[in-house]
Amino acid sequence: MHVVTSGDPAGEPLLLLHGTGPGATGELSFGPLLPGLRAHRCVVPDLVGFGRSSHPAAVPAGPGPWFARRVEAVLRLVDDLGPGRVHVVGHSYGARVALELLLRVPERIGRVVLLAAGGTPVKADLQKLTGFYREPSAAAMGDLVAAQLARPDVPDVAGYVRERFAVAVRPEVRRSFESAMAPGEPAPVYDRAVLGRVRHPVLVVHGKDDATIPPAASLFLAEHLPRADLHLFAGCGHLLQFEVPARLGALIDGFVRIER
């Protein structure tokens, strides 16, 4: 996996896992948050099949096989980070990966932040994501990003759209995304029985105006994760790390530092 690091190299690792979508990468997704997390050792990978990470041709089509391959790669990355605990921030699809880490290697995971989380029984609206490659263009990427924002005054959205579109039109990126979204074995869904097994402290965060994954998803997580705190940001959509980066960064920073 391609990995970007930032912050204090002596700190405990803070693993940031990005969401899905054409052209998504770790650095693009979390760039606005990183200045507020500079006290931590931030580790920001591109998940397998995204950005500059590998794009394996042998993965069977469908969400399930691709999810399994991505989780395997992240587990190897956790091992590479050393024997101590790793804190995790997961956005959207990345929150689904974070939940899987909690179940697979609970002894390696510290505190977890789930942003606009996918993977619950609450249905997401992915039409903008899945329809992008029917007629891929810079304008279509702009529409996709706009649909995930609730605020009109987000700085440098044009630059983000431009960089993300440049990644999205790379042939291997398109091939991986379309294969992962094709019909096939589904990715796991984390219901109340599964969530009840998690004993880690978790911060669940959502934008109240998220049109991609409704806030009900985070309410579900907060209800069924035994040690979950919940924070809703008014006037925010799915890309809340772009809409309230300073406030969200401070919230994550404070939560990860707490010992209890």
Q: Which helix (H) or strand (E) segment is 241 a member of? A: helix 240-243
CA–CA distance, 131 with 163 (Å, rounded to integer):
19
- Selected catalytic residue, list 91, 179, 206, 210: 210
CB distance 61 to 174 below 8 Å:
no
Whether 210 is a known active-site residue: answer yes
CA–CA distance, 37 with 35 (Å, rounded to integer):
5
**Cα-flanking dihedrals φ and ψ of residue 231, to 5°?**
-135, 125
Whether 209 is a known active-site residue: answer no
CB distance 224 to 196 below 8 Å:
yes
- Selected catalytic residue, list 29, 53, 92, 179: 92
Q: What are 197's strand-pairing partners?
A: none
CA–CA distance, 91 with 181 (Å, rounded to integer):
18
Whether 229 is a known active-site residue: answer no
CB distance 63 to 180 below 8 Å:
yes
CA–CA distance, 95 with 90 (Å, rounded to integer):
4
Q: At what angle do helices 93-104 and 63-80 cross, to 10 degrees?
A: 60
Helix-, strand-, coil-residue percentages of the chain, each rounded to 5: 45, 15, 40
CA–CA distance, 29 with 45 (Å, rounded to integer):
10
CA–CA distance, 72 with 77 (Å, rounded to integer):
9
Distance of CA 241 to the CA centre of its chain: 11
Active site residues: 92, 210, 238
